[in-house]
Structure 1
Amino acid sequence: MGSLFDFMLPELKSPMTGATTDALMGFIHIVSFIILAGVTIAMIYFAIKYRRRSEDDETPLITHNNKLEITWSVIPLLLVFIVF
């Protein structure tokens, strides 16, 4: 994976399986960082956008959203299928 992840991984002992394991670990680190950055940015954005303006503000009643629930279940499932 280059020098980006060399400091986190032990020295390569097996040229056959070690390189693929290092590549998989690098892929998992990159995907994890992208998800972390996306969630953090979204959290800050929504915290600022939907903050309470006054004590009299009422929250609207929202029961559920099937499309959203299916999306956040299927995308992690696909990522697990890709990794494993």
Structure 2
Amino acid sequence: MSLPAVGNKAWPQIAVTFGIWHLIEYGNGRVELKFTREHKHHWTGSSFARTAMPDLNDKVIVQEDDIRQSHEAMKTVANDPSSALSRWTPV
């Protein structure tokens, strides 16, 4: 079982959240090509999709609702972390 399968419907929110965290941590919050390639297909399934995906070099905008929805998605997936992780195999 893959990590996205463990995350199920919450996965797009989680994937985009960690992608944005990377942009903030390492790129001053500016969108880079790798982010666009890796998260474009997850964007529409996340709370961030209330706006279009930012263009390259634009700063990503995170609102309070994004943080709340990310927290809920992570709680859903991590409800029983040992059980979920025991089913996960790296792809």
**TM-score, length-normalised on structure 2?**
0.27
**Structure with greater helix share of residues:** 2
* Greater C-alpha Rg: 1
**TM-score, length-normalised on structure 1?**
0.29
